[in-house]
Amino acid sequence: MNTNSNKTLADLKSGEEAIIAGISGDIKLKRRLSALGLVNGVKIVLGQTAPLGDPRTYNILDYTLSLRNEEARLVRLQSS
């Protein structure tokens, strides 16, 4: 698989799945998101979106995670 650094979690459509390729941003945020399971090679699926579009839920590692779009834009995805 090639890494598509232009596609992020914020670009996913409802029910769409992807593989995490990396996280941008400062080291503190990278550590926090990594601790939540957002690490390279992990599959993630967009679940629900709030009525105004933010935040959105993602299914990852058998649990549901809620992220603001600002954070989701920092998580890069691999192309399929």
CATH number for 51: 2.30.30.90
pLDDT at 6: 86
pLDDT at 2: 45
Q: Dihedral angle at the C-alpha atoms of 9, 13, 15, 16, nearest 10 degrees? A: -60
Per-residue pLDDT for 56 more than 70?
yes
Q: Which domain holds residue 59?
A: 3-78
- Domains of the chain: total: 1
Q: Return d(Cα 48, Cα 16) in angstroms, integer.
A: 11
Average pLDDT of the chain to the nearest whole number: 91
pLDDT in tens, 25-55: 999 999 999 999 999 999 999 999 999 989 9
- Give the global pTM: 0.85
Instruction: Extract the tokens encoding 58.
Output: 């993602």
| Of residues 1, 20, 50, the one with CA closest to residue 9 | 20
pLDDT at 80: 59
DSSP states along 9-35: GGGPPTT-EEEEEEE-S-HHHHHHHHH
